[in-house]
A = this chain, B = another copy of it.
Amino acid sequence: MTVDQKVRELQHFINGSLVDGTSGRYSDVYNPSTGEVIARVPLASREEVITAIENAKAAFPAWKKVSAGKRAEVVQRFRQLVSENIEELIEVICEESGKTKEDAKGEITRGLESVDLAINVAHMTKGEYSVNVGGGINAYSAKYPLGVVAAISPFNFPVMVPLAQTSMAVAVGNAVILKPSEKVPISALYMSNLWKEAGLPDGIWTVINGDKEAVDELLENNTIEAISFVGSTPVAEHIYQKGTSYNKRVAALGGGKNFMVVMPDADLEKTANAFLGAAYGAASQRCMAISGAIPVGKETADKFVAILKEKIANLKVGPYTDETVDFGPVITQQSKDAVLAAINKGIEEGAQIVVDGRNPKISETSKGFYLGPTLLDEVTPSMEIYEKEVFGPARIIVRVESLQEAIDLINDHELGNGVTIFTNSGAAARKFQEEIEVGMVGVNVPIPIPVGYHNFGGLKRSKFGEGYMFGPDQARFFTKVKTISERWLEEDDETASTFSFPSNESGK
């Protein structure tokens, strides 16, 4: 066999250098658009993870002492390098994830919003200062980095999510260990070189490739102070519970079942357009993808489904190398099989198939993991395809009679990541945003992902832990606080013993 000659062997990025894996275990990395293996990624052993952690630990104290302004300069240079190399990075993303170039560019742009926020680390990490709180005491709080922290990233955003998880973490002075998805490790390694070139000290940014073994070490190792996770809900729950059982700080974001409520007064043509991109873009592999529509009233539903049916027929699926395609393949054959199973189960449970994308025509020879856009109508809450997050282009229609019914339905679902409503009515929008138990709410916005300077996070089982992702909260999540009460004794100060509990005139 000649596989070894074609397939690139990837590495880890530890202590400022690319290093070979030593565990002997590997995972294949596919180009989902062709179905071919393009690389194999080493899966780190516990020992390799420990080595990475120890290097990070050793690098931390010096980086912590660098002033916030100087750290920001490094982040600024990294940002510039990403901009300068954006075309190459887009290619890397597309090849390993299968998403379109436009989509890859979009995720980089959004990722850079997190970097921009991190440039302002000095402002974002100010403590509070109170003069003379009583007894000649000044009280103030100072923020410090935690130490070594870890980020565990999903496959669907090889660049954006890691940047959201790590930019501020690095900027506030931590040493960060990123474990990217073993399906898309190349983007993370690519960024490693940019960090190095930007002047980040060795050991502050680490990429450790791996699977459950690596994750377990990150969760159990006492040197790791905090875990930032983005992925599916079952894994997020596991990460939260296991990480906290080791007393760590954990923010774990899970999946979504994000509905678009379509009110009778909505412009259905525009709403359908909004649905298409939000629902099928990136082959529906976004935690904020619209999972389905909930039209209110039979008339709305009938019209909306008819319009969708027509529009979906015009969508084009294919490889990112064809710039006219609307979306590409799903990430793996297993993923494709799972989506097919979900569709079949849905039909079995009584859903009506409006558009069937189970056998898309791509080309005679393509072995890529393609699925065409699929739409199931008459889906009900008891069906599995309603309950579960489906990470592929099978979307559903759930019919209700009133806005209240739509709200109740959504609130009963265990997930609460994103949701949107299309309407012209201020009253409907207000009622919706007030009553809906979902973390990110859109009003006439297809994908209600907040801009990068607002916090990102769902409710219910879509997020575990107090922290948020993106946004200013990152500066909080990755720092700890010392609160200082400071007094200076002048010669004439008297200091009698005070046995009672100090009030705000304490100490004097």
Contacts and interface: CB of A to CB of B under 8 A. Distances in A.
A363 interface: no
A21 interface: no
B499 A102 contact: yes
Contacts of A138: 142, 430
**Most chain-B Cβ atoms within 10 A of its Cβ — which of A274, A430, A454?**
A454
Interface string A68-100: 111010001001100000000000000000001
B504 A67 contact: yes
Interface in A472-506: 472, 476-477, 480-490, 493, 495-506
A383 interface: no
A128 interface: yes
B459 A480 contact: yes
A216 interface: no
A110 interface: yes
A109 B503 contact: yes
Contacts of A141: 129, 450, 454-455
A313 interface: no
Given A247-B240, A504-B452, A483 B439 contact: yes
Interface in A418-439: 423-427, 429-431, 433-434, 436, 438-439
A249 B68 contact: no
Contact of A426 (B423, B441, B495): B423
A456 interface: yes
A279 B450 CA distance: 39
**Most chain-B Cβ atoms within 10 A of its Cβ — which of A123, A280, A429?**
A123
Contacts of A506: 445-447, 449
A237 B247 contact: yes
A293 interface: no
**Most chain-B Cβ atoms within 10 A of its Cβ — which of A134, A282, A456?**
A134
A327 B498 CA distance: 11
B483 A441 contact: yes
Contact of A439 (B130, B274, B481): B481
A117 interface: yes
Interface stretch (A178-186, A190-198, A200-208, A463-471): A463-471
Contact of A465 (B102, B466, B502): B466
A351 interface: no
A120 interface: yes
A488 B102 contact: no
17 contacts: A70-B504, A100-B500, A117-B123, A120-B453, A122-B133, A128-B129, A131-B144, A138-B430, A240-B247, A241-B244, A244-B244, A426-B443, A427-B488, A431-B488, A450-B485, A455-B483, A466-B467
Q: Which 9 A-B pairs have the closest CB atoms?
A: A106-B501, A244-B244, A69-B504, A102-B500, A127-B129, A427-B488, A281-B499, A270-B495, A67-B134
Interface of A: 65, 67-70, 72, 76, 79-80, 100, 102-103, 105-107, 109-110, 113, 116-117, 119-120, 122-144, 160, 237, 240-241, 244-245, 247, 249-250, 267, 270-271, 273-274, 276-278, 280-282, 286, 311, 326-327, 423-427, 429-431, 433-434, 436, 438-457, 459, 461, 464-468, 472, 476-477, 480-490, 493, 495-507
Given A69-B133, A100-B499, A442-B486, 20 more contacts: A67-B135, A67-B505, A76-B116, A80-B80, A103-B499, A106-B502, A109-B504, A110-B504, A136-B430, A138-B142, A138-B430, A140-B140, A241-B247, A244-B244, A277-B497, A327-B499, A431-B488, A439-B483, A442-B484, A449-B506
